[in-house]
Amino acid sequence: MSQSVRRIVIVGGGISGLATAFALQEESQRLCFPIDCTILEGHHRFGGKVLTHHVDEFVIEGGPDSFLTSKPWALELCEKLGLSDQLINTKRENSQTFCFTKGQMRELPQGLLAFAPTRLSALVSGGLISPLGMLRMGWEWFVPRSTNVEHDESLASFFRRRLGAEAFDYFLEPLVAGIYAGDANELSLKSTFPRFYELEQQYGSLIKGMRTQHAHSMSRSATQKPQRTMFTTLRGGLGDLIQALVKQIESNGASLFTGRHVLEIAPNRATLPAGYTIVLDNQERVIADDVILATPAYVSAKLLEPLHPQVSSLLNQIPYCSTATISLAFPEHEVKKAIQGFGFVVPRIEGRSLIAATWTSLKWPNRAKPEHVLIRCYVGGKGREAILEESDAAMVTYVREQLREIVGISCEPLFTEVYRWDRAMPQYVCGHSKRLQEIRSVMNDLPGIHLTGAAFEGLGIPDCIRDGTRVGADVVRLYQ
């Protein structure tokens, strides 16, 4: 086995690229295999969509504000980085979530997506679902499972078929939109929520399957310490995860650069079958034995088009949509009577550009001074992107109008911040899994080039960490 140092270049310094670098170093140290790792990030900072801004005592998240705890990979990375003691739960006392529809705010019972809601009566008494709609949901027990296992059904088709149109339109669709910012009529069930497909196939009923699994999990956890809430974040914001990763990766000897745009990836003929020369926008050249692209699919497609047009074409077929977050701070005494819980979602059927609003300082501790309230609004997404053509000021005006109309907040904000995310949300539309298989197959024609990122196996922080970790470890093992 050769012990020559392998030069590995990661293009993209978001959470996927940083997790890949961390895994590369971890695996190379475990196997005592020498690597020279370089990260090239085109923007002026690392982190991608993970962006935390501190203003006085406000902690403002420009992108995601938390991560899912049922997927362990982010928690595990935090532990390795020594951040576990900085993790905070959502405030249990404010754990209600609402849906604004039919002109009113209506409560979404906790545990709804687990089909073990703690206040099921709220669906009827709050008017979110009609009595007939509730009967249709209950009929789900008797809806036959799909026998066409090859069919890649859309989320909308699946949930309407199993639970009815009302249940889909008024609580499932807005919750899905809050995660993917997409159109459920286009999103693939198997690629976004495979668990629901598996429950249908195993139990014949979502309600039966999830109640069974919920009972088993309650039995297992009866003697365990209380677990973390469904979502968690870091006390100082998710930007602390990025800072800790960058610090650890640099201390392990990697070279990290921001503001370095890659123009071209060319085969290095002197080191075939693998080996590449990476040309940067300042005409600097970087030599690599392996190149890991942790960039959006359309960026990777552009870089790979001269090397393999078929790979480029397949990557370009992964669609993206755009969103924006608008954060606003208010005096607490002006808005405290207008807000409760964590916030609310808005169904697409309401015809608004607003996807959701989070009462950030009610959801998380230490996000604002006690005398202030921090609110974050989420706009755009597939089919609702027209708002993003407006100026920042116009978007602020729009969300203020929405907050005034929906919850009665009419006072002037203390300050506002707008973050735009252009083509930042990959869409796992029907056929996504088949497309991934084709991409993996043709990537065999490009030895030494690897792909990772939100476009493939999951767009949440834990999923990006998992995939980057897998790719990083696999690249090192290729040389064993």
- The residue among 444, 463, 447 whose CA lies nearest residue 455 is 463
Q: Is residue 91 part of a domain?
A: no
Read off the tokens for 418: 């707008």
The ranges of the chain with pLDDT < 50 are: 1, 114-121
Return the pLDDT at 274: 62
Report the CATH number at residue 205: 1.10.3110.10
Predicted pLDDT at 209: 86
Query: What pLDDT does residue 85 have?
Result: 96
Identify the pLDDT of residue 214: 66
**Same domain as 180, residue 122:** yes
* CA dist list (Å): 276 to 8, 60, 79, 267, 292: 10, 40, 35, 4, 11
Q: How far apart are CA 311 and CA 297, in angstroms?
A: 10
- Supply the pTM of this predicted model: 0.93
Q: Do 326 and 281 have their domain in common? A: no
**89 is a domain residue:** no
Same domain, yes or no: 445 and 417: no
Say yes or no: 36 and 156 in one domain.
no
pLDDT at 115: 46
286 and 326 in a single domain? The answer is: no
pLDDT at 116: 45
For residues 333 and 412, state if they share a domain. yes
Position 209 in a domain: yes
Whether 70 is in a domain gets the answer no
Block residue for tokens 């602020």: 396
Q: Are residues 182 and 125 in the same domain?
A: yes
Are 28 and 132 in a shared domain?
Answer: no
CB 320 within 8 A of CB 299: no
Burial class (CB in 10 A: 0-12, 13-18, 19+), 222: exposed
Same domain, 191 and 266: no
Residue 99 lies inside a defined structural domain of this protein: no
Can you give the pLDDT at residue 1?
Answer: 40
Query: 150 with 13, same domain?
Result: no
In a domain, 96, yes or no: no
Identify the domain containing residue 330 by its residue range.
Answer: 320-426
What are the tens digits of pLDDT across the range 50-73?
A: 999 999 999 999 999 999 999 999
Each residue's pLDDT tens digit, 135-175? 998 899 999 998 888 899 999 999 999 999 999 998 889 98
Check whether residue 189 and residue 259 sit in a common domain: no
Average pLDDT, the chain: 91
Residue 168 belongs to a domain: yes
439 and 360 within one domain? no
Is residue 113 in some structural domain? yes
- The CATH number of residue 391's host domain is 3.90.660.20
